[in-house]
Structure 1
Amino acid sequence: MGSRRKTEAVLALVALGLTLLGAAGELPPGAVGALQLRAVYGLAFSPADGGLGVATYYGVFLYTVPELEQTRSFSLSGVAYSLAFSPDGKRLAAGTFSQVVVWDYETGEQIATYEGRFGIVYALEFTPDGEGLLIGAGDGTLTLWDWFRDEVRWSHKGHSGAVRGVAVSPAGSMCASGSADQGVLWDIDGEVRFTFPGKAWDVDFSPDSYFLAIGSGKVVILWDTAVGLQYRYMWEHHGCVWWVEFSPDGRLLASASLDHTVRIWDWEAGHVLVTLEAHQDSVECVRFSPDGRLLASGSHDGQLYLWDVEALLQGAEG
């Protein structure tokens, strides 16, 4: 096969979202797997089988972990900008332009659809009972949709720009949203508790719900959810922090940035434990596996890495 035909074949695989494995020894230290896709916009681990869901330019693709072998795909009418699993792993939701789709994860059947004129759905998260879906949209609205009954519980335009990050507290009593204008902490019934000044590209609750992490410009800020005051301010990134994620045990915090890096923090001490520099473009998302042993990171150029968290921490100590 000529070089041109080989190139065309490789591009076809990438277009389909198929795995491209590098040769042995090409993985950076601490990485256990890698993929090359088209842009990666979102990641989510399945609580049911531990598989990794990836939101891409061509839809949603599912991979085994840690092998990263593609098993399934879910198609959308457009680009998959966001995705989320229900807490029991039985449902998968994805957002595209002015549409959210919910599937039965086991059968692949599309079971609910929410549509409107609200722009790109940048962020999604299920409520703890699995029946509500918090939706952050491009027109600045935050919506809590009961997909099971196909009812909107509430919808508020809480931001002047696109909602880029959403989170629901583990206990289900609060939710949060972030945009270029501010971060907002809400009661789960849609009443505002606190607003946090400055950019809020992403938001995430600690497992005990005591703290809200916000990616704010080039910094990660931790806010006390009980009183609405700043608890810690962590500045190590050199570009916007697009994504923040607490580990399941609450011990670590991961952040993904425009500066092409992922940083793993000891957030209680306020310092970086590990800096990952394998990505060649803006890192759009980062996710811990349900058991906290693995970390997935994806960038705008389609690079996806799967990391062994303990190996990374041991390497940093060494």
Structure 2
Amino acid sequence: MTAPAPPESSGAYFSANDAVFDWTVGFLESFRAHNPDLPLRWIPFDDRGDRIAALADEYQFTAFEDPSFDRLEAIGESLEVGLTPYGPHWFRRFAAFWGPFERFLYQDCRQLALCDLGPLIDATANYGFDLLHFDCALDQVYEPGPVRREFLRRGRGRGFMSGQWASRRGLFDLGTLERFGAECLAVRDQLNPRNTDQFFLNYCCDAGSVREGRNERPIVTGHFAEVLGDLCRDAWARQPGRVYQDAAGVFRRWDHGGSDHAKGVPILHWAGIQLSPAMPEAELFYTYRDRREPAARRALRSLRRRAERLALRLADRLRRQRQINSLWHRLRGRRR
């Protein structure tokens, strides 16, 4: 029997399949532009990954497939209420807790890496945190109720997003995750109806503990911006202001008078946003996605996007208008 390879000190994981190929190209271009040597592993979202696999040599990543995927997906399946049939595949990401990296960053593919990610990965060890994260939105994790109130009473319950976070190998094992899955199922009505992997990871961190010798302590989580400073609190693209690059090449957010004005943007993500020329910070994304295309083709694509953007943004503004949106949902028989 071949002995398992020794763990590597640090690296990053991303999850993707062929359905998000364009997003993945943009992510990989940005990742390698700022992290040319950082080890990268791809967690296949499902079995539709031939086009992603074909990018491995070009962007220097390897696939990470693990026998635990079926059991992890079974946890997700047990927590699904029919809103996100692909949701169980999200749970594959948690194999990172016993993967090849001692310290790691996990990222979904619908984002850009805009800096050297090493300091984000190292921060967990340097400052004594088990897991660090960006955006928080408590209602996207817990429903109002006893579970949420008890976590808040104990100083837990940050409600962080599950698309980008740094942690360490061994924080959880598969058996512990299955136990937490059963606990979540028992209080399923108090957890977000849609974001199964998100509430699950939060619950594991809020309810879990770490054994140190004979003692146990709560899992220590923190916000990257609060721990490191000079970073935007939210990595979501739909924020006030615009992202710009300063004279030193650092990406920052211009929002004069706002709390994140001129602060760093190490990661930018488009969770829940459709790939479109009208999406926030679209040109920044397409700059990376088309980075290896000939200059003439890049220019032509940019002109086409500009022509499409006005109509798309007008349609989006109408969709967001309260009366029109309410009428649309009534006709569809759905709640707002």
Q: Max radius of gyration: which structure?
A: 2
**Which protein has greater RCO, CA pairs closer than 8 Å, 6+ apart?**
2
- TM-score, length of structure 2 as denominator length: 0.29
TM norm structure 1: 0.30
**Between structures 1 and 2, the one with greater helix share:** 2
Name the structure where strand makes up a greater proportion of residues. 1
